[in-house]
Amino acid sequence: MNGHATGICPRLRGLRPLPLRARIALLLVTLALAGFAAITAAGGWIVLEAEDAIVGAVIAEAARETLESGAPPRVEWMRRFPGPEALRAATGLDRLPPGGGWHEVFAATAGGPAVLVDSWRSRWRVWRDDLEIEYRVRLPAPGEGLAGCLWVEVDRLEFTEERAVPIRWTVLAVAGAVAALALTASAVILRWTVLPLRLLAERVRVAPADQAADFSEGLADDEVGALARALRDSRARTLATLEREQRFLAECSHELRTPLATLRSALTLLPEVSADPAARERVTGRMARSVARMERLVRFFLVLAREGRQPADIGWVELQPLVREVIDEHAALAAPPSPRWIVEVPESAGVRAARDVVLTLVHNLVGNAVKHSPGGRIRLSWAAPATLQIDDDGPGFADLAPAQAAETAARVPGFGVGLDLMRRLCRLNGWEVQRGVSVWGGAQVRVVFEHPLSETPLASAPAASG
């Protein structure tokens, strides 16, 4: 069995599925034909039931008149007998009914014994021997006032058959008209249903791949309209993701290009200053700073690459020792003159997160401040609610301090790793990055951490200068 199924499945998988238009058309045609068959069957059954009711009423009325008057029947299709035995002898009935009332009897066209139908076995015999002539026999019930046995030839009531045939044809014509109307309506429904889908497919096909598009314009607020809106929103999310990734790659390229250029120039100068210890130390220091910056950048980009995945090493991160570690590294690598450090982060300040993520964030924020405020003042402070703030006296942000930024734009390059990437890193961890102007007119960057375990206001924080 399994081998047989395995041999069939590849052929089934190779079959091309029917288009949606063909499937809907097939379904509607099937429903129309099913309606035609149902109306025909129901109409035929109603006609047969009505015919039986008419025949029964005619027989009952003739039987009542015959039995009440005691005279011979006035119709040719009914005979009266004084008793059951006389009836059986005259008609060739195979057996007498077990009780009074009306009973069905069938006989062959060529004559022969008549079969009383009172069980499934006798009905099988009627069908097997092709007994087509129908009779009805009536025997008096015990205690009934109307005595006498009746024998009725049902097939001689031909006037009911004559009237039933046109009725059947009328029912058939009505069923055909209903089926034709259903097929016409099906064609209209098919066009009405598939046309919006084809319009939507054409809009999606011709829409530029790199631009947002409103596929739902002009469509009804139905399932197709909902599909169009879903496609529009999906394209908007895809374009946003693509734009974000393009910016990410551009930032990577831009940020890595500077330390690589510095390292390349230092490697070029190193053979020339090998005889001068002081010059060689300056060149190697420049190389060390470039390597350290590339290391921080690579770490930063690796952290961003974990987007959508929660770090496994989440724990309580104390900010004061982490800030001191970052300052020590930047102080050792920064070109003279060294910045003036102001640290206002209490020992109780901390956040629940992955230490590598927080270290990467603080490294890049401090690195940007060092880059834009060489030899200036840099302050790191902690404020409620759970906010790490970094101030410098550099040019600041052009849109927040345009006058001062314009004065130093020629000598200061871009603001390090873009704040968009910083925001992206913070958004991954449920934090928020805010910009502002420091008390010295430079840049101010605030990181608001989420779910802090301790919050110490800035006013109560101990200050330490470096």
Q: Where are the domains of the chain?
A: 1-68+161-205, 78-156, 207-305, 314-408+415-465
318 or 71: which leads in pLDDT: 318
Amino acid identity of residue 274, one-letter, is S
pLDDT tens-digit map of 373-414? 877 899 999 988 889 999 999 888 877 755 444 444 333 333
Q: Residue 420: is its pLDDT beyond 80?
A: no
CA distance 412 to 422: 20
By C-alpha distance, which of 156, 167, 169, 165 is closest to 58? 156
CA distance 308 to 356: 16
- Matching residue, tokens 């496994």: 312
User: To which H or E segment does residue 102 belong?
Assistant: strand 101-107
Amino acid identity of residue 44, one-letter, is G
Residue 385 pLDDT: 81
> How large is the angle between the packed helices 319-333 and 355-372, nearest 10 degrees?
40
Which tokens is 147 given? 């005595």
Amino acid identity of residue 465, one-letter, is S
Structure confidence at residue 343 as a pLDDT band (50, 70, 90): very high
**What mean pLDDT do residues 86-108 have?**
89
Q: Residue 312: is its pLDDT beyond 90?
A: no
DSSP E strand boundaries for 334-414 = 340-344, 350-354, 377-383, 387-392
Half-sphere exposure of residue 446, counting CA atoms within 13 Å on the CB side?
13
Structure confidence at residue 211 as a pLDDT band (50, 70, 90): confident
Residue 6 pLDDT: 47
Q: Residue 415: is its pLDDT beyond 80?
A: no
**What mean pLDDT do residues 233-249 have?**
82
Global pTM reads 0.43
By C-alpha distance, which of 391, 383, 354 is closest to 448? 383
Strands 387-392 and 443-448: antiparallel
Strand order across the 387-392 sheet = 432-437, 443-448, 387-392, 377-383, 340-344, 464-465
pLDDT tens-digit map of 363-376? 888 888 888 887 78
CA angle 48, 54, 60 (to 5 degrees): 130
428 or 455: which leads in pLDDT: 428
Residues 35, 43: contact at Cβ < 8 Å? Answer: no
pLDDT tens-digit map of 133-178? 889 999 988 777 777 899 999 887 755 555 667 777 777 788 788 8
Which of 2-6, 80-84, 125-129, 345-349 is least confident?
2-6
Residue 321 pLDDT: 93
Which tokens is 435 given? 């910009």
48 or 358: which leads in pLDDT: 358
Structure confidence at residue 16 as a pLDDT band (50, 70, 90): low
Residue 21 pLDDT: 67
Q: Residue 194: is its pLDDT beyond 80?
A: no
Q: Residue 26: is its pLDDT beyond 50?
A: yes
Residue 430 pLDDT: 85
- Superfamily in which the 314-408+415-465 domain is placed by CATH: Histidine kinase-like ATPase, C-terminal domain (3.30.565.10)
User: Do you find a cis peptide bond into 402, omega within 30 degrees of 0?
Assistant: no
Which tokens is 459 given? 């006013």
